[in-house]
Each structure stands twice: as C-alpha cells, then as structure tokens.
C-alpha cells in the first residue's frame, strides 16, 4: 500500500521555517498539521507548535491518548497523523471547523482515499465533502485489502471510537436562565448596574483572545515597518473592535492594514442611473459609460472610511493603512471560475457572493491614501494574518431572526435560537473561507470564535448579551455595543448589522442568476 503525505507552511510560528510533513525518518510517525495552537498547551514564543504537537503525539500509544492529546489544544486546525506502530491514520478538524479538510472516499472511478485542505473543484473523478467536526476519525490500514471483497470495496471509513468517546471537545451550552422582563436598555449612553462587570469581562476576554492570535507572528528584521496583521474591515462594530484591540498588542511602529473591498455591480449602477433619469430605460450606448462613472462608495466603503478616522483619533501613534480594494465587473468575471473551484464543495449563490468578497479582500491589492484628500497610491498588503469578525452575530444575537424569535416565542425562543447558532457554527462554511483565503498564502483568525471566548459568552445570561425589545443598533449585540462605547468607539457602537456581500455589493451581480435565492446552486462557468 502506498501512502503519500504532502504539506506546506506559511511559517507563522517559531524562529525558522519548518519543513512539513513532520517525521523522524524512515519508519516513523508522520504528521501533516494545518493550524495554530493558541491555548491548552505551553508553547513558547520561539517554538513551532506543529513540532511540539508532533512530539506529544509520538508519546501516544492508544486511540484514546491521541484523542486526549488533540482535545487538549485550542485553536484552528486540521491534521492527518499516521501512527507507524499501529498503522492507523488519525485525522480531524477543530470542533468549530475553522480549517478546511475535505475527504474523498474511494469510488470505482477513483479508488484512492484522499484527505486534502484544498479542493479539486468540479471534477468527475473526485467526490469531495467537508469532514465532520464532531469526531476524531481513524483509518486502520491493517484492515484494508485483507480479502478480495475488501479490494472490490476498497476503504471504508468509520470512527474508531464508540459514541461516548467520539467528541474531541465541544462548546459550552447556552445559559438558559430566563431574565426579569422589567430590565430594559433604552440607550447606549446609560449602562445598567447589572452590566458593568460583564462589560469589563467581555473586553478582557476578547482582548486576550486577540493577544494570543497576534503576538507570535514572526517579523523579519528588514520588514519591521511592514504590516504582519490585517483586518477584514467593513467599518462595522465587529471589525472595528478587533482592529482597536489588536492595536494594543502589535508594535506601534508596525502598520495595521484595513482591507475594504468594493465591487462594480452592473445592476446597482444601472439602477442608480435609471433612478437619476426618473427611471427611464438605460440605453445600450450608456453601458460603456458605467465603468468610467462607477462610484466605489459602497456601504462598507462609507462606514470603513468613517471608522478609520475614529481609529486614527483614538490611536494617533499608529499608521492605519485603509486599503481601498476596487473590483471592476470584468475582473470579477475573470476570477469567477477560480473562486468557484476554490470554494467547492460549497456551491450556492450565497457561497459565491461571500467567497468573491473574501477572495479579493484577502488578496489585499488596492490603493491607500496618506490623508482622506490625498492622491491614491498603489499598495498590496504583505500581512499573512487576517483578523475576521465572524461569530459575533451568532454569540450576541445580531441577526434579525433573533428579534423575530422573541416576537413569536419570548426569551425561551431567543435562547433556543442562540443555541442553534452555536450548533451550526461548525457547518457555517468556515472551511470554504479557509480555502479561498489561503489561496493567497494568507491565514484567517477568528478572535470571536476562540473556544475560550465562545464559552465565556455562552455562559452569560441572555439578557446580558442582547435585548430584542430595544431598537436596532441598541438591543442587538447589546453587550458588545456597550463594550465598544467604553473603549471610545462611539460611532462603531451604534452601527447596524450589514452582511458583507451586500455591504461590498458582491451579491446579485448579474441578471437571471442574481434574482435566485441564495441557497440555490450557482450556474457553473463554462
């Protein structure tokens, strides 16, 4: 039986590059590790976490010990570990699915067993699917090919553990205590006494999550004045709080890049032109004028510019590179086939809208201005680590459906909805995002989705996190808004929720398909 292992590194830990896969020579264990260990085991600033995990796994003798070893770490990861003594292959993703790991089970057309972090796209020889995050899986190679029937049905994947031992770890359950309905937040300007300590705790826990995720990124001496960290920056409350807290833990002489993407959307432009002409039909001879007249002031650009100025006022010693990433429609079309291949097996209209925004934002190629009125200069972000605010809406009740749940079923329905949000995070396409962003040699980190931070928020009473009776911009994500206000982020604290694909205008780019529901499959590019 032939086993082939391949792995590559971005080198985001330790003092020197580490060649993967990790192994100790012929006949040794082998580890392919794609991820970061931020908590759970002691890793010094100059150590490589993959190397340390490999040494720990070498000391394991039983499947239970392998499971317990993996269960002790916190961070985004996907791994494949071959244990030579037992001829077992162990593999898993972290419990929240923050790293991609796809599986192809053998078929008659392609009788190979494949685990991969990248996708082959639409391909008749591969039947790729996202690996479930709820278990540590084991493939016992000694059981493979033992009979002629086994050879006709090559590899059958099963979990090596009974159900009681399957989970590696899992998030805390949502606190189900029902609040006193007399409590109501009427304004962000007044903090109720019962929330004061929770606001301080939230700032401390989120600050610690961000610190762990930005403090160990190696920075070559010759590039000490270049960005090592960028933020996927819409100007909303989530990305602004992340940027502000990251500022605390990154050397002051190092810039922080704020990645802000805007798309030329023909439907939006034609609608604006038609509206300005009292809804008259746009003639064909106007089509060429659309690209030259396009305004890049999409909603996320407007809010991003405002929040950059707020950050500059609060953090005057920091250089904030606000990167205007402007994507003409033609460039969108040219990249579409590539992005569809990267995001597969995700393949809905919504997947495409989000993947396109992440693809161009993570590429980091745009323009910057020294001042708002200064001429633009070409700039490409060198940062390998991108902070993403995903997860805050799920944790703090930021979606409209949370308000609807309260209207239809009261606080119990809200708690049920928040629990459902946590349960769905592992299947909310974080693997898709990882494949798209890593195609540019970048790594996404999600401070709101640190298991430690997530568990802290889950255990808070529901009325500490949100109040669906208050108006939008106050009651949704209430605790996070109050924390932002305490940090001095006044404008960000009251900004309302806006989905990335709508804020950047990457959604509904074309007629026909653009009118379809987001959960329908995309029309493939041919």
For residue 205, which of 449, 417, 418 has the smallest C-alpha distance? 449
Cα 201 to Cα 395: distance, rounded to the nearest angstrom = 15
pLDDT digits (tens, 9 = 90+) for 234-292: 999 999 999 999 999 999 999 999 999 999 988 776 655 444 443 334 333 334 434 44
Averaged over 422-451, what is the pLDDT? 95
Q: Which is it for strands 385-387 and 137-140: parallel, antiparallel or unpaired?
A: unpaired
pLDDT value for 447: 98
Cα 523 to Cα 349: distance, rounded to the nearest angstrom = 8
pLDDT digits (tens, 9 = 90+) for 315-325: 999 999 999 99
Measured in residues, the chain has a length of 526
Whether residue 120 is predicted with pLDDT greater than 70 in this model: the reply is yes
- Residue 125: HSE in the Cβ half-sphere, 13 Å Cα cutoff: 6
- Tokens in use for 461? 């009473």
Cα 77 to Cα 98: distance, rounded to the nearest angstrom = 7
Averaged over 377-392, what is the pLDDT? 96
pLDDT digits (tens, 9 = 90+) for 340-355: 999 999 999 999 999 9
Whether residue 224 is predicted with pLDDT greater than 60 in this model: the reply is yes
| Cα 473 versus chain centre, distance | 24
Cα 331 to Cα 359: distance, rounded to the nearest angstrom = 12
Averaged over 370-397, what is the pLDDT? 95
Q: Helix, strand, or coil here: 149?
A: helix
Averaged over 109-134, what is the pLDDT? 91
- Tokens in use for 429? 């396409």
Q: Residue 421, exposed/middle/buried by CB under 10 A (0-12, 13-18, 19+)?
A: buried
Least confident of 265-269, 423-427, 489-493: 265-269
pLDDT digits (tens, 9 = 90+) for 11-67: 787 777 888 999 998 889 999 999 999 998 888 878 889 999 999 999 999 888 998
pLDDT value for 165: 40
For residue 448, which of 388, 523, 386 has the smallest C-alpha distance? 388
pLDDT value for 169: 66
State pTM to two decimals: 0.90
Cα 385 to Cα 214: distance, rounded to the nearest angstrom = 8
φ, ψ of residue 463 to 5 degrees: the values are -75, -5
Q: Please give the helix or strand (H or E) that residue 242 lies within, else none.
A: helix 237-247
Listed by start position, the domains of the chain span 22-165, 193-390+428-450+498-515
Sequence-separated (6 or more) residues with CB below 8 Å from residue 182: none
Helices (H) and strands (E) in the chain, counts: 18, 15
CA distances from 449 to 58, 102, 118, 174, 488 (A): 29, 21, 22, 15, 24
Q: Whose structure tokens read 């804020």? A: 503
DSSP state string for 299-368? HHHHHHHHHHHHHHHH-TTS-EEEEEEEE-HHHHHHHHHHHHHHHTT--BHHHHHHHHHHHHHHHTEEEE
With vertex at residue 500, the alpha carbon angle to CA 269 and CA 515, rounded to the nearest 5 degrees, is: 55
What are 327-336's contacts with CB under 8 Å, separation 24+? 327/261, 327/262, 327/263, 327/264, 327/360, 328/264, 328/291, 328/294, 329/263, 329/264, 329/265, 329/266, 329/291, 329/509, 330/291, 332/263, 332/264, 332/356, 332/506, 332/509, 335/359, 335/360, 336/525
For residue 229, which of 390, 491, 52, 447 has the smallest C-alpha distance? 447
Whether residue 443 is predicted with pLDDT greater than 50 in this model: the reply is yes
Q: Whose structure tokens read 């590039």? A: 223
pLDDT value for 130: 94
Percent of the chain with pLDDT over 70: 86
Whether residue 309 is predicted with pLDDT greater than 90 in this model: the reply is yes
- Tokens in use for 454? 């997530």
Least confident of 166-175, 376-385, 413-422, 466-475: 166-175
Averaged over 97-113, what is the pLDDT? 91
Whether residue 441 is predicted with pLDDT greater than 90 in this model: the reply is yes
Cα 238 to Cα 479: distance, rounded to the nearest angstrom = 12
pLDDT value for 525: 54
Q: Residue 408, exposed/middle/buried by CB under 10 A (0-12, 13-18, 19+)?
A: exposed
Percent of the chain with pLDDT over 90: 63
For the domain covering 193-390+428-450+498-515, report its CATH number. 3.40.50
Whether residue 8 is predicted with pLDDT greater than 90 in this model: the reply is no
497 pLDDT band, cuts 50/70/90, is: confident
């Amino acid at each position: 039986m032939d086993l082939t292992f391949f792995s590559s590194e971005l080198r985001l830990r330790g003092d020197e590059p580490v060649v993967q896969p990790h192994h100790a020579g012929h006949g040794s264990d082998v580890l392919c590790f794609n991820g970061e260990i931020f908590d759970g085991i002691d890793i010094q600033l100059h150590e490589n976490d993959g190397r340390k995990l490999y040494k720990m796994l070498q000391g394991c003798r039983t499947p239970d010990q392998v499971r317990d070893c993996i269960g002790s770490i916190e961070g985004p990861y996907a791994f494949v570990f071959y244990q030579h003594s037992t001829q077992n292959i162990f593999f898993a993703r972290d419990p929240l699915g923050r790293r991609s790991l796809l599986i192809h089970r053998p078929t008659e057309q392609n009788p190979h067993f494949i685990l991969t972090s990248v996708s082959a796209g639409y391909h008749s020889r591969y039947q790729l699917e996202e690996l479930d995050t709820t278990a540590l899986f084991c493939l016992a190679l000694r059981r493979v090919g033992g009979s002629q029937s086994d050879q006709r049905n090559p590899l059958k994947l099963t979990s090596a553990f009974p159900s009681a031992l399957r989970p590696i770890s899992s998030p805390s359950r949502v606190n189900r205590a029902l609040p006193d309905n007399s409590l109501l937040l009427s304004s962000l300007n007044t903090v109720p006494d019962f929330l004061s300590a929770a606001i301080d705790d939230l700032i401390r826990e989120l600050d610690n999550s961000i610190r762990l995720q930005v403090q160990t990124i190696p920075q070559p001496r010759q590039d000490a004045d270049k960005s090592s960290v960028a933020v996927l920056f819409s100007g909303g409350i989530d990305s602004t709080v992340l940027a502000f807290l990251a500022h605390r833990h990154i050397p002051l002489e190092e810039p922080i890049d704020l990645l802000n993407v805007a798309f030329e959307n023909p439907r939006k432009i034609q609608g604006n032109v038609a509206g300005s002409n009292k809804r008259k039909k746009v003639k064909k001879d106007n089509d060429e004028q659309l690209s030259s007249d396009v305004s890049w002031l999409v909603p996320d650009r407007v809010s991003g510019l405002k929040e950059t100025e707020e950050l500059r006022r609060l953090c005057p010693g920091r250089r904030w590179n606000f990167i205007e990433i402007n994507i003409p429609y033609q460039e969108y079309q040219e990249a579409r086939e590539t992005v569809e291949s990267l995001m597969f097996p995700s393949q809905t209209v919504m997947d495409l809208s989000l993947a396109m925004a992440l693809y161009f934002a993570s590429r980091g190629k745009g323009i910057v201005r020294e001042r708002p009125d200064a001429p633009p200069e070409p700039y490409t972000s060198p940062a390998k680590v991108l902070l993403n605010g995903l997860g805050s809406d799920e944790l703090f009740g930021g979606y409209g459906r949370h308000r609807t749940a309260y209207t239809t079923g009261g606080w119990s329905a809200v708690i049920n909805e928040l629990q459902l949000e946590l349960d769905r995070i592992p299947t909310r396409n974080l693997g898709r995002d990882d494949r798209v962003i890593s195609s540019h040699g970048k790594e996404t980190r999600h401070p709101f989705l640190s298991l430690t931070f997530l568990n802290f928020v889950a255990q808070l009473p529901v009325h500490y996190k949100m109040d669906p009776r208050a108006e939008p911009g106050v009651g949704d994500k209430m605790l996070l808004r109050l924390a932002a206000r305490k940090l001095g982020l006044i404008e960000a604290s009251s900004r309302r929720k806006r989905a990335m694909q709508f804020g950047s205008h990457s959604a509904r780019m074309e007629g026909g398909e653009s009118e379809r529901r987001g959960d329908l499959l995309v029309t493939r590019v041919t």
